[in-house]
């Protein structure tokens, strides 16, 4: 079974990132957001949805996101930072409490920053060593700026 980093540990990946929009959905699939929105009345139960770069979160404004066990955010390249904003919007504006999973071409060095905006699971490309990536999971014990975990900046926490 494939592995990922979830909540600070290496864990089994229980869900399938369904990249083919023509494939049949299942209750363990993370389907494209566009497919779910187009077929939500007939698609049946799914584990979650994933947002592609450039899609944004606006289409999810009136959706009860807590029906999903996981929402994935695709990073097409490690230099594409839109996924950071999507995670923060899911947490702060849309009130999503579940698992937010980074998918695709991000790098272990970004883990600390991904955690600060609301991600809690990471499905790396196959060539990434998860043991080494886990070392970077919590590289800083304290951040000066506020984030989704602790919104108050350091000067207000003293």
pTM for the full predicted model: 0.87
pLDDT at site 144:
59
Q: Which residues partner with 30 through β-bridges?
A: 17, 48
Beta-carbon contacts of 40 under 8 Å, excluding residues fewer than 6 positions away, are none
Residue bearing tokens 């409490």: 97
The verdict on domain 3-13+47-157 having CATH code 3.30.450.20 is no
pLDDT at site 149:
67
Spatial distance between the Cα atoms of 141 and 119, rounded to a whole number of angstroms: 17
State the number of CA atoms in the 13 A half-sphere of 105 facing the CB: 9
pLDDT at site 2:
87
Spatial distance between the Cα atoms of 22 and 73, rounded to a whole number of angstroms: 19
Which segments of the chain have a pLDDT < 70?
Answer: 137-144, 146, 148-150, 154
Spatial distance between the Cα atoms of 144 and 47, rounded to a whole number of angstroms: 35
């Amino acid at each position: 079974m494939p592995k990922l980093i979830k909540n600070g540990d290496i864990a089994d990946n229980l869900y399938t990132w369904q990249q083919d929009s023509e494939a049949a959905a299942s209750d363990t699939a993370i389907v494209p957001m566009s497919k779910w929105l187009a077929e939500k009345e007939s698609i049946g139960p799914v584990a979650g949805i994933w947002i592609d770069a450039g899609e944004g979160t606006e289409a999810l404004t009136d959706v009860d996101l807590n029906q999903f066990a996981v929402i994935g955010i695709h990073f097409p390249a490690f230099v594409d930072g839109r996924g950071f904003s999507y995670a923060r919007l899911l947490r702060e504006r849309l009130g999503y409490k579940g698992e937010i999973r980074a998918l695709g071409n991000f790098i272990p060095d970004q883990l600390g920053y991904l955690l600060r905006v609301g991600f809690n699971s990471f499905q790396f490309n196959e060539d990434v060593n998860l043991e080494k990536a886990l070392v970077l999971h919590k590289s800083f014990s304290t951040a000066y700026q506020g984030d989704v975990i602790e919104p108050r900046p350091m000067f207000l926490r003293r």
